[in-house]
Amino acid sequence: MKAFIPIVLALAGIANAPAFAENATGALGANYNEHFEDVDYRDLEKAQTHWVRIFLPMPQVDAEGAAGPGAVRTILDVHEHGYRTLLTLKWPYNHRDFPKPGSDGMKRELARLDQVLPMVMGKVDILEIGNEPFIESRTEDRDADLNVFYETMARRVIAYREAHCGGECPTRLYMGALNQLQKAGRRTKTAERWMAFVKATPQIAGVDIHPHITDIEESRAFLSYVLPRMRADQSFIATEFSLIWWWNDQMKRPVSPTFAKMYGLPSDTRNWQVIAQALKEPFGKSKWDDFLALSPWFEEHRHYLRAQMKIFRDTGRLDVATYGFKQGSSMSANFGPDKTPWLINSVFAPRTVRPNPDGSAPYGYAWIEDFRALQTR
């Protein structure tokens, strides 16, 4: 992977960027994914952010009703605390095909949606239809059935918004995220139809992208794909983005010799083993910081967040981006050599670092300064 400074210089912006779209606020917020339980207003205040994003797995509605799932309760509480809010509706179909129109399965999904919409429409700033449709499905099912399903959900949301929220409704609608667009195999007919629906539907404000990548240059493929396929007045959101696959490539490699010597570790200790130990017995903050600062694979990219936001903002079309904010339970469970190290992305590191004296979460290494600086836009 290239050194950080040349990357920044090479990617200072997107050529021939259009004028700013109406919703191009360029904001940066906190992404919690499904971990609504991790929301702590002390963290949000320390990071000086104004936006919070959570997703709701729709099957949860069956067990407790729309008022029950913590994602809905939490996002409404965040709204009451004065933050801007983004709620993503997630439909996991990893084990079966999408239901057909008129089927019992489709009726069930619409009934779930009908429970959620009255609670959140007009209250959340952005309601996103779908999380990662091209990941949360089987390969063989990523055909027209996928499009029909999500278009049906979108039309239901649009109809409810028009009937109950009016022309001045503060809730903007986005279609869910496209993944892995740096790979030609992901730019399929189904993805083309996804973008065609976004462009042809005036009530849709734009589309979400999730550039989880190995090299920051790969993020440009996402922008070059979605921007020409939207109307000039539409924006994009990026509710997830990271260098996760670069971090992942480093996990089975030896830890920094300097770190190993400093903390008395065998020279053949692997990076994943250090993380596993931190999860078992959380480090003091200085030790966790040393682990990352003394690792060239991390230190050379410590300003990734700043560089990625510049690329997004230079398009003039970014509405909101949200970055992985806090190490959650799913990131730390059963950590081993083949576990994807999502927790390295996190702005706050409560799983690998001992809590502050007041019980609040400590910062991770590097991200907090740039995260705060990026709030000025």
Q: What percent of the chain has pLDDT over 70?
A: 94
Q: DSSP E strands: which ranges in the chain?
A: 27-31, 51-57, 84-90, 126-129, 172-179, 204-210, 235-238, 318-324
pLDDT digits (tens, 9 = 90+) for 300-312: 999 999 999 999 9
Cβ atoms of residues 278 and 248 within 8 Å:
no
User: DSSP label at 284?
Assistant: P
DSSP conformation letters of 74-143: HHHHHHHTT-EEEEEEE--BSSSPPPPTTSHHHHHHHHHHHHHHHHHTTTSSEEEE-S-TTTSB-GGG-S
Domain 21-243+303-326 in this protein, CATH class: alpha beta
| Cα Dmax for the chain | 66
CB atoms within 10 A of CB 103: 11
pLDDT score for 12? 34
Cβ atoms of residues 311 and 14 within 8 Å:
yes
As a whole number, mean pLDDT of residues 342-354 equals 98
Query: What is the distance of C-alpha 5 from the center of its chain?
Result: 25
The answer to whether the predicted template modeling score (pTM) of the entire model surpasses 0.85 is: yes
As a whole number, mean pLDDT of residues 45-53 equals 98
Position 17 pLDDT exceeds 90:
no
Cα 204-87-157 angle, rounded to 5 deg = 40
* C-alpha closest to that of 366 among 349, 341, 342: 349
As a whole number, mean pLDDT of residues 35-47 equals 98
Q: Hey, where are the domains in the chain?
A: 21-243+303-326, 245-300+329-360
pLDDT digits (tens, 9 = 90+) for 200-209: 999 999 999 9
Cβ atoms of residues 39 and 74 within 8 Å:
yes
